[in-house]
């Protein structure tokens, strides 16, 4: 990110719901237009985004005071990862506004999530993505995430990734 535009990453609250949902909706629409069926436009709610859901915390990144990215953290993810010991945080709903794409904001958000996981005394940041999204899989691998297999859900397959924090 350009040094003149500092990144602020903070826990999203109820007043941030529109910003978080807007970032996710924009990302879903952009992906859908490119044939990537990872997220369906119109499918996000405050609960699925993590703004108003127990066990799921949304974070909002701002650059120069402008909403620029978001992610959510969970402390268990049995639907995707199965039952696991409490040694990881699980990242979902990572999205970067297209105005900030290619500037390192995604990597900064992953690092911010890793910081939260480390502060909670856990050893791993885990995430998943649509198995068919080869570009995103390569992106995560390039940022030090180790592939941990695939899981077959009802309507899609997810690729699993993990990185020590």
**What one-character DSSP code corresponds to residue 83?**
S
Query: Residue 120 — pLDDT band, cuts 50, 70, 90?
Result: very high
Sort residue 161 into left (φ over 0), alpha (ψ -120 to 50) or beta: beta
In angstroms, the Cα distances linking 28 to 25, 40, 137 are: 5, 6, 17
Predicted confidence at residue 115, as pLDDT, reads: 97
Structure-model confidence comparison of residues 51 and 24, the more confident one: 24
Q: Is residue 50 part of a domain?
A: yes
Q: How would residue 155 be classed by pLDDT, with cut points 50, 70 and 90?
A: confident
Q: Does 41 fall in a domain?
A: yes
Report CA dihedral (87, 7, 71, 120) to the nearest 10 degrees.
20
For residues 55 and 116, the model is more confident at 116
**pTM of the full structure:** 0.91
Give the number of domains in the chain: 1
Task: With respect to residue 132, please indicate whether it lies within any of the assigned structural domains.
Answer: no
Give the residue numbers spanning the domain of 83.
Answer: 7-122
**Domain at 95, CATH number:** 3.40.630.30
State residue 108's pLDDT score.
95
Q: Are strands 88-96 and 66-74 parallel, antiparallel or unpaired?
A: antiparallel
**pLDDT tens, position by position, 7-43:** 899 999 989 999 999 999 999 999 888 887 778 888 8
């Amino acid at each position: 990110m350009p040094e003149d535009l500092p990144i602020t990453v903070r826990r999203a609250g109820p007043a941030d719901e529109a910003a978080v949902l807007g970032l996710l909706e924009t990302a879903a629409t952009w992906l859908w237009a490119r044939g990537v069926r990872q997220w369906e436009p119109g499918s996000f709610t405050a609960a699925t985004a993590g703004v108003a859901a127990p066990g799921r915390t949304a974070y909002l990144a701002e650059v120069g005071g402008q909403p620029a990215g978001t992610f959510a953290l969970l402390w268990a993810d049995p639907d995707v990862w199965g039952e696991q010991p409490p040694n990881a945080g699980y990242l979902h709903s990572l999205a970067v506004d297209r105005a900030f794409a290619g500037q390192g904001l995604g990597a900064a958000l992953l690092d911010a999530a890793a910081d939260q996981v480390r502060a909670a005394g856990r050893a791993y940041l885990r995430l998943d993505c649509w198995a068919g999204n080869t570009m995103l899989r390569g992106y995560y691998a390039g940022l030090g995430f180790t592939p941990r297999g695939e899981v077959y859900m009802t309507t899609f397959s997810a690729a699993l990734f993990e990185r020590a924090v």
